[in-house]
């Protein structure tokens, strides 16, 4: 009988110690589950998961790039068009080259077609937020990160996003500034 008791005692102590370890093993287990299921991963969650993606419809985006005559730059969208869902996080890129022989500061101004679509562009990052300085002959790829507001009008099936680069030097640009009313 005494042998039976000490066997049971040993087994139960092993179980208790094992469960103490199991409590700590739950820590990596928890993070693994979060990783595999993709829940609880900070940054991504705040940008994408909190946005309601409307998968019921597609919107065709067309990208356009222009330079004002006062600016000696080559400016082109990397992709011409893209199909996206409203609410989806979208990143596109633009390519710009300073073809002149001196450094120039440029400022991009967006416009939208149709114009009312502009209200539904929620930009998180854009090269148009700040003036861009390019050295002589420098080439640069610039991103735009945005979400189309899911409450966007249902009849908007194709939207054009157009950027025009202006020379940020006021004297060189005077003529163009008079003609242009910047939006957005």
Partner 1 sequence: MSDAAHAHDDHGHHAHPTGIMRWLTTTNHKDIGSLYLWFSLIMLFTAGSMALLIRSELFEPGMQLMHPDFFNQLTTMHGLIMIFGVIMPAFTGFANWQVPLMIGAPDMAFPRMNNWSFWLLPVAGIMLLGSFWLPGGAVAGGWTMYPPLFIQGGVSYDLTILAVHIMGLSSIMGSINIITTILNMRAPGLTLMKMPMFVWTWLITAYLLIATMPVLAGAVTMLLTDRNFGTHFFNAAGGGDPVMFQHIFWFFGHPEVYILILPAFGIVSQIIPTFARKPLFGYASMVYATGSIAILSFIVWAHHMFAVGMPVSAQLFFMFSTMLIAVPTGVKVFNWVATMWKGSMTFETPMLFAIAFVCLFTIGGFSGLVLAMAPVDIQLQDTYYVVAHFHYVLVSGALFSIFAGIYFWLPKWTGHMYNETLGKVHFWLSVIGMNIVFFPMHFLGLAGMPRRIPDYALQFTEFNQIATVGAFIFGFSQLIFLVLVLKTIKGGAKASDRVWEGAQGLEWTVPSPAPYHTFETAPVVK
For partner 1, the binding residues (CB under 8 A) are 1, 4-5, 8-9, 12-13, 15-24, 26-27, 30-31, 37, 39-40
CA distance 3 to 100: 94
CB of 122 to partner 1, least distance (A): 24
CB of 176 to partner 1, least distance (A): 50
CB of 33 to partner 1, least distance (A): 9
Q: Which is nearer to partner 1, 23 or 170 (CB)?
A: 23
Q: Which is nearer to partner 1, 26 or 124 (CB)?
A: 26
CA 8 to chain centre: 61
Q: Which is nearer to partner 1, 52 or 81 (CB)?
A: 52
CB of 40 to partner 1, least distance (A): 7
Beta bridge partners, 140, equal 96
CB-based contacts of 32, cutoff 8 Å, min separation 6:
none
CA distance 90 to 38: 19
Alpha-carbon distances of 36 from 10, 45, 89, rounded to whole Å: 37, 14, 21
Encode 146-171: b = buried (16+ Cβ within 10 Å), e = exposed.
bbbbbebeeebeebebebbbbbeeee
SS3 assignment, position 43 = helix
CA distance 178 to 170: 11
Q: Which is nearer to partner 1, 26 or 136 (CB)?
A: 26
Q: Which is nearer to partner 1, 9 or 175 (CB)?
A: 9
CB of 50 to partner 1, least distance (A): 11
């Amino acid at each position: 009988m005494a042998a039976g008791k000490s066997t049971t005692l040993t087994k139960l102590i092993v179980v208790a110690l094992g469960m103490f370890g199991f409590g700590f093993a739950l820590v990596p287990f928890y993070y693994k589950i979060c990783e595999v299921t993709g829940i609880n991963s900070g940054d991504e969650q705040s940008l994408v998961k909190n946005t309601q993606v409307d998968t019921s419809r597609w919107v065709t985006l067309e990208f356009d790039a222009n330079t004002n005559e006062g600016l000696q730059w080559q400016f082109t969208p990397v992709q011409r068009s893209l199909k996206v869902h409203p609410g989806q996080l979208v990143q596109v890129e633009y390519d710009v080259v300073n073809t002149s022989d001196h450094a120039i500061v440029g400022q991009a101004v967006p416009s939208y077609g149709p114009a009312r679509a502009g209200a539904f562009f929620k930009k998180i990052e854009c090269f148009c937020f700040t003036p861009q300085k390019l050295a002589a002959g420098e080439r640069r790829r610039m991103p735009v990160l945005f979400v189309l507001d899911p409450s966007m009008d249902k009849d908007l099936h194709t939207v054009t996003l157009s950027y025009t680069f202006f020379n940020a030097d006021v004297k060189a640009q005077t003529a163009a500034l008079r003609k242009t009313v910047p939006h957005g």
